[in-house]
Structure 1
Amino acid sequence: MHPQYIQHNVAAGDTKEGILSILPFIPKTGRISTIRIFQDGDYVFTHNLYNISAPAKVVFDVYRFEDGKVVEHWDNIQTLETTPNPAGRTMLDGTIQPTQLTLAQTAANKALVKSYIRDVLMGGNIEKLPEYFHEDQFIQHAPGALDGPVGFNGSEQTYNRIRMVLGDGNFVLAMGEGTAAGVPTAFYNLYRVENGKLAEHWNVIESILPRDQWNPTNNNGRF
Structure 2
Amino acid sequence: MSNKQKVVDLLKSIETGATEPVGFINPNKYIQHNLAVADGLAGFGALLQQLPPKSAKVNTVRVFEDGNFVFAHTDYNFFGAKTGFDIFRFEDGKIVEHWDNLQETASPNPSGHTMIDGATQAVDLDKTATNKELVKNFVDDILVNGRMEKLAGYFNGDNYIQHNPLIPDQLSGLGKALGEWAKQGITMKYDQIHKVLGDGNFVLVVSEGHLAGKHNSFYDLFRVENGKIAEHWDVIEQIPAKEQWKNSNGKFGF
Q: Same fold (TM over 0.5)?
A: yes
TM-score by length of 1: 0.94
Counterpart among 80, 91, 96 of residue 71 in structure 1: 96
Counterpart among 100, 108, 121 of residue 143 in structure 2: 121
Q: Which runs of 4+ in 1 moved over 4 A?
A: none
Q: How does 1:19-58 map to 2 (within 5 A)?
A: 19-26=44-51, 27-54=53-80, 56-58=81-83
**Structure 1 residue 101: deviation in Å?**
1.6
**Distance across 1 between alignment mates of 2:150 and 2:242:** 37
**Structure 1 residue 124: deviation in Å?**
1.1
**Distance across 2 between alignment mates of 1:100 and 1:64:** 23
- Aligned length, in residue pairs: 217
**Distance across 2 between alignment mates of 1:36 and 1:74:** 16
Counterpart among 3, 10, 13 of residue 38 in structure 2: 13
**Structure 1 residue 51: deviation in Å?**
1.2
Q: Match of 2:224?
A: 193
Q: Does 2:199 align with 1:168? A: yes
TM-score by length of 2: 0.83
Q: Match of 2:9?
A: none
Residue 136 of structure 1 aligns to a residue whose secondary structure is: coil
Q: How does 1:61-210 map to 2 (within 5 A)?
A: 61-82=86-107, 84-102=108-126, 105-150=127-172, 151=174, 152-154=177-179, 155=181, 156-210=187-241
Residues 101-154 of structure 1 deviation map (CA, whole Å, 9 limit, x = unaligned): 21xx10110000110011111111111112200011010010110212351413
Q: Which amino acid aligns with 2:205?
A: A
**Distance across 2 between alignment mates of 1:25 and 1:211:** 22
Consecutive unaligned residues in structure 2, runs of 5 or more: 1-24, 182-186
Residues 164-205 of structure 1 deviation map (CA, whole Å, 9 limit, x = unaligned): 000000000000010010000000000000010000000000
**Structure 1 residue 88: deviation in Å?**
1.6
Residue 71 of structure 1 aligns to a residue whose secondary structure is: strand
- Identical aligned residues as a percent: 50
Name the structure with the higher strand share.
1
Residues 57-111 of structure 1 deviation map (CA, whole Å, 9 limit, x = unaligned): 00000000011111000000000002x2112211111111111421xx1011000
**Distance across 1 between alignment mates of 2:250 and 2:171:** 32
* Deviation larger for 128-137 or 161-170: 128-137
Name the structure with the higher helix share.
2
Consecutive unaligned residues in structure 1, runs of 5 or more: none
Q: Which amino acid aligns with 2:79?
A: S
